[in-house]
Chain A
Amino acid sequence: MRLSPDEMIFWQYGFLKLNATIVFTWGLMFVLAAGSKLITRKLSTDLKRSRWQNLLEIVVTAIETQIEDIGLQHPRKYLGFLGTLFLFVAAASLCTLIPGYKPPTASLSTTAALALCVFVAVPLFGIEERGLGGYLKSYVKPTFIMLPFNIISELSRTLALAVRLFGNMMSGAMIIGILLTITPFIFPIIMTALGLLTGMVQAYIFFILATVYIAAGTSVRKPKPEPVPKT
């Protein structure tokens, strides 16, 4: 029983292995990049535009609205990173409709890489927004005793991000595989639909959690307004 697309190896040279995870990730990257390039070749700002451009605009403005809702002040700065996270995970689970495709996020290596990207991005954005001192000071809030707990919580939520996405994707693929050997006709279709739904929800969750972590890391404390003396 194949637990992950890591074990389907297409080509091997010494210790370099081209397994299904890498091949499908490259396929996704190519489709997303080439598709966007083709659609944005002739951008038009008036009311008459192609429906693909409309689709991309809907997606981009929806992501930007979500980022702003969480509390990040300038969503454009984070739109590249967070939007890519969402689009990659969503496309990875959307393509399960294609027969013979295994989502690359069903392998712990992909989800760990994505979680590590978030783990690195939070301090990066935090330092960019608040300066090195301001960001490091956030670790000792509210008191100095909380320093180890804050560090542990950073590490554990990164781990949780990786395992959550991996577990959801792997369980979807595995349920379909198991059911195919039991009741080959109707149930796998229903479970594929369920897997699609959970895949999209998990993509949204990954994106929202990354946004919340970045918002927590970049939150600039507004100075307390001076108390107005009562006249």
Chain B
Amino acid sequence: MDSMTIIAVASIVTAGITTSFGTMAPALGEGKAVATALGSLAQQPDAAKTITRTLFVGLAMIESTAIYCFVVSMILIFANPFWKHVIAQATGK
């Protein structure tokens, strides 16, 4: 396998694995957060505003790790510097 094939295969496989981990782990964390928030809402409905706001902030922080994975996958697929370099070499020849 020449280097072009290796780079392509590595990029595609890594992008797929990154996205899959990036969707699984934050989903588990967010599920736990929402479950705890619902439990505390049921216990103290008076604090609904604070709980809801804190829940959203916490969800956004967990979501950001998923976004990091997504950004890396997108870079690997669409703005891959190694692929660009190899393509430039191949067409430059």
Contacts and interface: CB of A to CB of B under 8 A. Distances in A.
A167 interface: yes
B41 interface: no
Nearest to B72: A167
Interface stretch (A86-94, A199-207, A218-226): A199-207
Contacts of B70: 167, 171
A168 interface: yes
A180 B74 CA distance: 17
A201 B67 contact: no
Contacts of B68: 163, 167
Contacts of A66: 53
A1 B79 CA distance: 9
Interface of A is mostly: helix
Interface string B55-75: 011001101100110110010
Contact of A202 (B49, B53, B60, B79): B60
B44 interface: no
Contacts of A167: 64, 67-68, 70-71
A52 to B, nearest CB: 27
Contact of B56 (A69, A160, A164, A204): A204
Given A1-B78, A163-B71, 15 more contacts: A3-B74, A66-B53, A69-B50, A163-B64, A163-B68, A167-B67, A167-B68, A167-B70, A170-B71, A170-B74, A171-B70, A202-B60, A205-B56, A205-B60, A209-B57
